[in-house]
Amino acid sequence: MPQVERLIIEALSEYISPAAAQNLLNRALRRTDKHPGAMSPRDWAAFVSGPLLEELRKILPVRTPSKKFLSLLQNLESSASEQKGTPQGPEKTGRGEAVKTIEMPHWQVDLQDERAREQLARDLAREDGVSGVLLRGDGFSEARLPGAEELAPILAVVDNLLRKGKSYKIFYSVFQEGQVLIRPFGSALVAIVTKRGANLGRLLHVLNSFEAKGGQV
């Protein structure tokens, strides 16, 4: 699924389940007779602000889109403006066809802001299949859901050992009760403990869609 479609599903998932979000997106695309592979950033911006919101409002009384939804729309409009004003070299497919890519920034989290840290922990804890969340750094530790705080010292040791070796992007392990994902988050670490049957692909995408303000270490 193209990056822009993943971000739309993520934004819609604030209102409905990921499966329902996918169905709603597909329905809106069919209604407008649009093919994702042929849509430019400007097409996506018009689609999100028009047909997609209309479909959402048919099932929920959404008057004002969420902050994440508005941020997505703003990024699409910005990409469209940049594409119009500054020609960029297109990527080539194996067939030699030119294709356009949309690079979306991650959602940034200021680790110095306690409310931002709490919000990140809450967002991750709400994901399907998540049984524990930990955000731990110098002078702070945000844990959500039972058992996450108990794992904090162990996860911190794992993170320290991994940082001493080669730089790592993600650590994954299975244990008796489920699975754990750890990634460096600036100078901190963020970890999610999941149930055995959790959708790791989606959780990896969600985990990687956040970025510590100032970039990753």
Which of 33-42, 77-86, 100-109: highest mean pLDDT? 33-42
Average pLDDT, integer, range 173-198:
86
| pLDDT tops 60 at residue 96 | no
What's 205's domain CATH number?
Answer: 3.30.450.30
> Tens digit of pLDDT for each residue in 127-178?
888 988 999 998 898 888 776 677 788 888 888 888 887 677 888 888 777 8
* Domain count across the chain: 2
3-state secondary structure the chain: CCHHHHHHHHHHCCCCCHHHHHHHHHHHHHHHCCCHHHCCHHHHHHHHHHHHHHHHHHHCCCCCCCHHHHHHHHHHHHHHHHHHHCCCCCEECCCCCEECCCCCCCEEECCCCHHHHHHHHHHHHCCCCEEEEEEEECCEEEEECCCHHHHHHHHHHHHHHHHHCCCCCCEEEEECCEEEEEEEECCEEEEEEECCCCCHHHHHHHHHCEEECCCCC
Q: Assess if residue 128 is contained within a domain.
A: yes
Which residues, including other chains, have CB under 8 Å from residue 39's CB and lie 6 or more apart?
A: 47
Residue where a domain terminates, one of 99, 134, 155: 99
Residue where a domain terminates, one of 72, 99, 126: 99
Question: Average pLDDT of the chain?
Answer: 78
| pLDDT tops 60 at residue 90 | no
Is the same domain home to 37 and 117? Answer: no
Percent pLDDT > 70 in the chain is 80
Is the same domain home to 82 and 133? Answer: no
Q: Assess if residue 217 is contained within a domain.
A: no
| pLDDT tops 50 at residue 104 | no
- The pLDDT, as a whole number, for residue 89 is 42
Is the same domain home to 121 and 79? Answer: no
Cα angle for residues 204, 210, 214 (degrees, 5° grid)? 140
Is the same domain home to 139 and 199? Answer: yes
Is the same domain home to 42 and 77? Answer: yes
| pLDDT tops 70 at residue 88 | no
Residue where a domain terminates, one of 75, 99, 123: 99
Residue 32, domain extent: 3-99
Is the same domain home to 119 and 194? Answer: yes
> Tens digit of pLDDT for each residue in 2-49?
578 888 888 888 777 788 888 889 889 988 888 887 888 888 888 888
- The pLDDT, as a whole number, for residue 101 is 37
Is the same domain home to 92 and 22? Answer: yes
Could you give the CA distance from residue 73 to residue 89 in angstroms, rounded to a whole number? 24
